[in-house]
């Protein structure tokens, strides 16, 4: 699964900032290939409004 950070984390709650960092994303436009596990799905669902997800 490929995730891309599309919106800024500035002004977001601390838990959302930490979740984005834990997914390995730092700047807008950063992408990562991550495994499709229940833990990763939960993290993605927490910040889905900031990300673009491709299966």
User: Domain residue spans in the chain?
Assistant: 2-54
Pick the CATH number of 2-54 from 2.60.40.10, 3.40.50.300, 3.30.1390.20, 3.20.20.70: 3.30.1390.20
Contact 1, 51 (CB under 8 A): no
Adjacency order of strands within the sheet including 31-33: 31-33, 2-5, 51-54
Backbone angles phi, psi at 43, to 5 degrees: -65, -45
The tens place of each residue's pLDDT in the chain, 55 residues long, gives: 999 999 999 999 999 999 999 999 999 999 999 999 999 999 999 999 999 999 8
User: pTM for the whole thing?
Assistant: 0.92
Nearest to 53 by CA among 31, 38, 37: 31
């Amino acid at each position: 699964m490929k995730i891309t950070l599309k919106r800024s984390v500035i002004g977001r709650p601390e838990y959302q900032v930490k979740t984005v960092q834990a997914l390995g994303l730092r700047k807008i436009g950063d992408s990562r290939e991550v495994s499709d596990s229940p833990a990763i799905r939960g993290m993605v669902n927490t910040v889905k409004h900031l990300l673009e997800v491709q299966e």
